[in-house]
Structure 1
Amino acid sequence: MTRLRIAEQAAQTLQAMVAKRGLQAGDRLPAERQLAAQLGISRGSLREAIRLLDSRGLLRSHPGGGTYVAQPADEGGAAAGPAADPMLALFRQNPEYRFDVLEVRHALEGSAAFYAALRSTDEDRARIVEAHRAMVATPGHEDPVKAAQADAAFHLAIVEASHNLVLLHVMENLFALLSTSISHNLGQLYALPRVQGPLATQHQGLLTAILDGQPEQARRAAQEHLTFVEEALKRMDEEEARKLRSMRRLTV
């Protein structure tokens, strides 16, 4: 079992422990050595688990100062702390930043797909297949929010299968923003019958490349998918702008 997988399982156990003990925001967790012994893992794996939970806004780790349960979500539903607030607030204020998110995804997910095809285990591939099935079973035109969550889960399962802890950590930090981006994108895209088929084909191609162990093909599939999404969104924006101009001319 890889350290990444151990860290993910330890993160789940640690989160359950916090809930079971009824720890509140601001409560300090036991010392590293004691906590690692309780979980039966190395201190290195524990630190990685804590970093994962920190990136999700569940814990706050202060070098030399211990690890604490994070503050609860604010009234807007965003987790408190630096990991979530600034970028998410910026995106909510200006949806045009979704194109910035897509550019970041181009850089990260192409590499994630490459390494997932190269390094994924049987367990990783089974998890990706299951995430793909869940995505297919959740049509975006019926429930855009659930479809967005299923889409994010599929893409993040691929990132996880890359077995690159830094890449996973960055994507976990961007998860809230990524989910918002996907929800915004799919909420529009799946309303258009002309894009539903291509999106399904692209996801299937990405899945197949990873399952077949074709790194370059997987990278290309991920990047072509994101290019399609970006171009489709820009076309929709242009169409909407033309409609607005036509309406203004009619009202003049």
Structure 2
Amino acid sequence: MSEALRPMSRQRLYEQVIERLRNYVADAGLSAGDKLPAERELAQRLGVSRASVKQAIVVLEVQGLVEARHGGGTYLVRDTLDIEPVERLVERRRRLPDVLEAREALETKLAELAAERRTEADLADLRSALDHMRAEIEAGDHGVEGDRRFHAAVTAAAHSSLLAEFMQSIAEQVTESRTESLRQPGRPSRSLGQHVAILDAIAAGEPKQAAAAMRRHLRTVAKVRLLAWNPDEEPG
């Protein structure tokens, strides 16, 4: 059957709530750090269930646009609520577990090899990447570029052309997983600390410790709110 005649998607109720919240933030001139109305108030004013509002907040949290503080309300992290289309989130959620699995398999081995083969120039590149990520975090950013540089430097230090080609083949998906992970609250600083542990093991020439440190890091990377989100849950 032609794809043109596939069933039409129906906008989920929480997507409509998100759109209303986006307009509200713009109309009210809210910015990062400002508090949204309470879920109960939003539900009453929008004429929907609290569960629908809660699901909308979850989607905004997944995208790093708001922070829901336990017992303290929901606060804007950005100046707008311009979100990705939900269907794009759904697609990324579908492929993310495979990407994370591939990263653990490849990068654990790369860290092991790096500990065996690294040169002084490789160690300098790794330290430079850490310095860059640290500076990004101190400036209030997520450290995405520093993170990219660090993992690229580990790959280079392994001196394995074929494994490097494998990493390059999934570069786009790795970028997605990196961005997803580093926008989790508190994650940039934690990742930086884990990078230091990886570098220490590589510099010490300890392959098993380097592999273990990389594995621990990537399992932290895998803990993202997106994977706990059920996009098909439609509250009443």
Of the three residues 90, 94, 109, the one matched with 2:91 is 94
1:149 corresponds to 2:131: no
* Maintained 8 Å contact 2:198/2:210: yes
Q: Hey, what does 1:211 align to over in structure 2?
A: 203
CA distance in 1, matches of 2:165, 2:89: 23
Asked if residue 181 in structure 1 is aligned to residue 174 in structure 2, the reply is no
1:149 deviation in Å? 2.5
**Secondary structure at the counterpart of residue 139 of structure 1:** helix
Change in 2 beyond 3 A, CA 1:140/1:172: farther
Matching residue of 1:117: 115
Asked whether the equivalents of residues 152 and 178 of structure 1 are also in contact (C-alpha less than 8 Å), the reply is: no
Runs of 4 or more above 4 Å deviation? none
Residue identity in the other structure for 1:116? A
Shift of 1:93: 6.5
The Cα of 1:136 is off from its aligned counterpart by 1.5
Specify the alignment match of 1:161 in structure 2.
157
- Equivalent position SS for 1:110: helix
Give SS of 1:137's match: helix
Please tell me whether the aligned partners of residues 121 and 161 of structure 1 are also in contact (alpha carbons under 8 angstroms).
yes
Once residues 96 and 108 of structure 2 are traced to their aligned partners in structure 1, the CA distance between those partners, rounded to angstroms, is 18
State whether residues 109 and 159 of structure 1, in contact with CA within 8 Å, keep that contact through their aligned partners in structure 2: yes
Residue 171 (structure 1) aligns with: 167
Partners of 2:139 and 2:122 in 1: how far apart? 29
Corresponding residue of 1:139: 137
Q: Which structure 1 residue ranges, 5 or more long, are not aligned?
A: 1-90
Distance 1:140 1:98, change over 3 A: farther
CA RMSD of aligned residues (A): 2.8
1: CA distance, partners of 2:168 / 2:89: 19
Tell me by how many angstroms 1:142 deviates. Answer: 3.4
Equivalent runs, 1:240-251 vs 2, <5 Å: 248=235
List alignment gaps of at least 5 residues for structure 2: 1-87
Do the aligned residues in 2 keep the contact of 1:140 with 1:186 (CA within 8 Å)?
A: no
Per the alignment, residue 42 of structure 2 pairs with none
CA distance in structure 2 between the aligned counterparts of 1:166 and 1:229, rounded to whole angstroms: 24
Matched to 2:119, the amino acid is T
- Give the SS at the match of 1:142: coil
Determine which structure has greater relative contact order: mean sequence separation of CA pairs < 8 Å that are 6+ residues apart, divided by chain length: 2
The letter of the residue matching 1:149 is E
Distance of 2:122 and 2:136 partners within structure 1: 21
CA distance in 1, matches of 2:170, 2:140: 26
Going from structure 1 to structure 2, the CA distance change for 1:103 and 1:113 (only over 3 Å counts) comes to: same
Residue 94 of structure 1 aligns to a residue in which SS?
helix
Contact 2:115 2:201 (C-alpha < 8 Å) held by counterparts? yes
2:136 aligned counterpart, secondary structure:
coil
* 1:19-168 equivalence runs, <5 A: 94-96=91-93, 97-139=95-137, 142-144=140-142, 147-168=143-164
